Amino acid sequence: MSKAIYMPKGKAGEYAKYACNFYVGCSNDCSYCYCKRGLLGHAMGGTTPTLKKCFKDEDDALKVFERELAANLQELQNHGLFFTFTSDPLLPETEGLTFAAIDTCIDYDVPVKLLTKRADFDVSSYYDIHLDSIAFGFTLTGCDELERNASTNAERIAKMKELYHRGFKTFASIEPVIDLGKSYDMIAKTIGHCDLYKIGLLTGKRNYTPEDVSQFVCKVNDMIHRHNFFNKEEVKVYWKDSVPGFLKIERTDKCFDHWFCVGADYDIFNE
């Protein structure tokens, strides 16, 4: 696996064991995007989605993808495939190839997770017979002003609810946490329509303290506990490494000692 499918590392590795990237660049143009940073920012962080140079065209990309999928089938069937870290898989410019790849995954019985900041995409009724194979995730920060070309957070939440009620698995990436109050509000507005939350802090300068984050963790855990208890549901949360790291505590701490707090390897398709 090298051109399309690969094993992400670091923070990305906390989302999935295997991922697929077809494009670099993203027209959402979020001000905090990690792809805009560092030495590769000029190549990775553009605002125009561009097919990776290793592919001749989209047809070639799909052929390469299928070869890599078939060559690593057992692992991918076991762990699924995540779209995507170097762009948004459901931009108007990228969704065509993304859905073609999803169709290929369905043919090979490989489950798929997608993470997007878009709400302006359509999901064909064809996929309703594959509800156990596709999970839709939405990045929710509550900060529309920092995501100027993305769908609004409210639009994303509405799309999540629509897909959840159709029977799809849904998850929320509450990352980066820019404002603790806004992130808490995103969880409060989606609980009951979201199977899994992945929560991670902002890299670099933050406007909150360890004490603030500790209170935030307690409030979120309490919300999820109460929801699960009163609604007989099993909503889960994964606190990314940035949270215990910032608090300088271990995952064995009582902050994370709840049955609904799961690890990075939690499988949303096989609860």
Please say whether the beta carbons of 30 and 55 come within 8 A: no
Q: How far is CA 173 from CA 157, 164, 235, 237, in A?
A: 12, 15, 14, 10
Give me 258's structure tokens: 């709840």
Report the pLDDT value the prediction gives residue 16, as an integer from 0 to 100.
Answer: 94
Q: How far apart are CA 109 and CA 90, in angstroms?
A: 21
Q: How far apart are CA 148 and CA 144, in angstroms?
A: 6
Q: Of 234, 240, 232, 271, which is closest to residue 256 (Cα–Cα)? A: 240
Give me 168's structure tokens: 């799809």
The yes-or-no verdict on residue 35 having pLDDT over 90 is no
Please say whether the beta carbons of 35 and 86 come within 8 A: yes
Q: Which amino acid is at 133?
A: S
Report the pLDDT value the prediction gives residue 102, as an integer from 0 to 100.
Answer: 98
Residue in the block written with tokens 């839709």: 136
Helix runs in the chain, H state only: 10-13, 41-44, 58-71, 73-79, 95-107, 153-166, 180-190, 210-231, 242-247
**What is the DSSP secondary structure assignment for residue 147, as one 8-state letter?**
B
Q: Of 129, 128, 198, which is closest to residue 166 (Cα–Cα)? A: 128
Give me 201's structure tokens: 């802090």
Report the pLDDT value the prediction gives residue 38, as an integer from 0 to 100.
Answer: 58
Report the pLDDT value the prediction gives residue 40, as an integer from 0 to 100.
Answer: 54
The yes-or-no verdict on residue 258 having pLDDT over 90 is yes
pTM: 0.95
Residues with Cβ within 8 Å of residue 231, at least 6 apart in sequence = 192
Please say whether the beta carbons of 210 and 247 come within 8 A: yes
**Mean pLDDT, residues 24-51:** 79
Report the pLDDT value the prediction gives residue 28, as an integer from 0 to 100.
Answer: 96
pLDDT in tens, 116-163: 999 999 999 999 999 999 999 999 999 999 999 999 999 999 999 999
Burial status of residue 66 (CB atoms within 10 A of its CB: 0-12, 13-18, 19 or more): middle
